[in-house]
Copies of this chain bind each other. A is one copy, B any other.
C-alpha cells in the first residue's frame, strides 16, 4: 500500500537489532485518516472472505481493528495481555516474545470468541509470528475458524509470514519490510 510505504520511509525510525519504530503514526501517536485507509485496503484484500468477527490483541491492534470492524459492521474482540481477575469462560495461550526474552499470557473470553466464528485477525506488526501463533491457538481452543490475518507491517526477514502462509493461512500485509540492515529501511515494492 503506497501511502503506508511512503509514511514508513518518511516517519519510521530504525534501531539496532531489526527494530522499526512507527510511534509517530501507529504505535503511540496514531493517524486516524491513514488508519481508515488501511482498513479500507484490508476490506478490499479480504473482499471474497466470509467473516463474522474481527479479532486483535491490545493495544496497538485496536485502532486498525475497530476501523475494519466499522467498515464491515462486525463486532471486534481484542485479546488481553494480562489475565483479568473477573473474565468468564477464559481461553489462555502463552506467547514468547523475542524482543523481551520472556513469555506472556494472551487471553480472550470464550463468550466472545465462539465455536463457528469466522475470524479475521488484524494486528499492527507481523515479525517472527509468535503472537500470531498464540492467536491461532486461541481460535482453535474456541472452535472458531481463522479465515485471514491482516497486518499493517510485516518484517519479512523475521519469517513469521513464511510460517503462517506455509500453514495455508490467508495473510495480507500492507507493507513488507525486506530488511533493516545498517538501519536502512528497505520496503518491498
Contacts and interface: CB of A to CB of B under 8 A. Distances in A.
A86 B29 contact: no
Give the oligomeric copy count: 2
Interface string A47-87: 00000000000110011001101100111111010000011
Given A62-B62, A62-B63, A77 B32 contact: no
A78 B30 contact: yes
Interface in A34-48: 35-36
Nearest to A57: B59
A109 B23 contact: yes
A15 B86 contact: yes
B15 A66 contact: no
Interface residues of A, number: 34
B28 A78 contact: yes
Nearest to A66: B63
Given A15-B86, A63-B63, A86-B21, A69 B32 contact: yes
Nearest to A108: B28
Interface of A: 15, 19, 21, 23-24, 28-33, 35-36, 58-59, 62-63, 66-67, 69-70, 73-78, 80, 86-87, 108-109, 111-112
